[in-house]
Structure 1
Amino acid sequence: MKIILTQEVSGLGAPGDIVEVKDGYGRNYLLPQGFAIAWTKGAEKQVSLIKRARAAREIRDLGHANEVKDQLEGLKVSLKARAGDGGRLFGSVTPAEIVDAVRAAGGPSLDRRRLELPGHIKSTGAYPVRIKLHPEVTASFNLNVVAA
């Protein structure tokens, strides 16, 4: 089955890529979740719009990705969240909250979809967070979740 990705799917491709996948994977997962659209000649014209939007928020080049990596790795990121007794959070920490915390700590503006979390963050403490800035550059920083 030929599809056009509308969001980044790890191990498969980036938005705007035309990929060939197994019928069941495309029909039962990628299409219903909104990660892809079925390939047609008309839909292929939308690929240019998706790629143009991706280029606007993409890290410009390898040098820029390394600059952002250096900036992130020297950053102390702290996030306040409501917690109960024992440090258990009411809910969990979302990637959007992490991106806002990085920006509040003086870091660069990041794309929340590129964050790689160590599972669900549901309690206070320090957590390693990785972000894929460029196909060749991955940065990591520590996120400190504290009770509000």
Structure 2
Amino acid sequence: MKIILRKDVATLGDAGEVVTVKNGYANNYLIPQGFAIRATEGTLKALETEKKQQAHKIEQRRKEARELSAKIEQMTLNISTKAGESGKLFGTVTSGDIADALKAQGVEIDRRKIQLEAPIKALGKYEAVAKIYMDIAAKLNIVVGAEGAEAVETAEAPEAGE
């Protein structure tokens, strides 16, 4: 009997595949358990249209991911945090902090998709990778600065002009 798998079955194949199995196996186990449906002309046509729709959705998501990747790679994330005089941070900059900085600039990415090469524990420039969709990733440029540094720089600027 020809059947269409609805779920992955280790011994038969992946969901969406058309396979031939013995009648008893299909009627007594696969179909009642919801692992498969009978392969009729109608179900085969429905399977083809579903595959086309999924391919279209995947292509659409890939296009959106490429656009988002290009947008992210043009950004520079400025993260301010508390730091000591030697430039060492009190704590670390995590992927959650980077995700929050991206969200502030209008881009929402899950923190688990941001990969750091090493923990950020000092002031400076860093790079990270954000996995956006399947094989599409974006390089993040991150600048970590001290929280009080902006206030000190702006306070010193007027004095120099006088």
- Per the normalisation by structure 1, the TM-score is 0.57
Letter in structure 2 aligned against 1:73: E
What is the deviation of 1:107? 3.8
**Separation of aligned partners in 1, 2:102 and 2:133:** 18
Match of 1:68, SS state, is: helix
CA distance in 1, matches of 2:130, 2:68: 11
Q: Secondary structure at the match of 2:89?
A: coil
Q: Give the number of the structure with larger relative contact order, counting CA–CA contacts within 8 Å between residues 6 or more apart.
A: 1
Partner of 2:89: 89
Task: Measure how far apart 1:67 and its partner are.
Answer: 1.0
Following TM superposition, by how much is the alpha carbon of 1:137 offset from its aligned partner in structure 2, in angstroms?
Answer: 0.4
Distance (Å, rounded) in 1 between the aligned partners of 2:106 and 2:75: 7
The 2-side partners of 1:73 and 1:129 are apart by 10
Identity of aligned residues (%): 33
**Is the 8 Å Cα contact of residues 71 and 107 (structure 1) preserved in structure 2?**
no
User: How much has 1:118 moved relative to structure 2?
Assistant: 1.7
Q: Which residue of 2 aligns with 1:128?
A: 127
| Higher Cα Rg, which structure | 2
Q: Secondary structure at the match of 1:89?
A: strand
Cα displacement (A) at 1:95: 1.0
Aligned-residue RMSD, C-alpha = 2.1
Task: Give the equivalent residue in structure 1 for 2:146.
Answer: 147
Larger strand proportion of the pair: 2
What amino acid sits opposite 2:90 in the alignment?
Answer: F
Q: Which has a greater percent of helix? A: 2
TM-superposed CA distance for 1:135, in Å, is: 1.3
Contact 1:130-1:140 within 8 A present in 2 as well: yes
How many residues align structurally?
A: 91
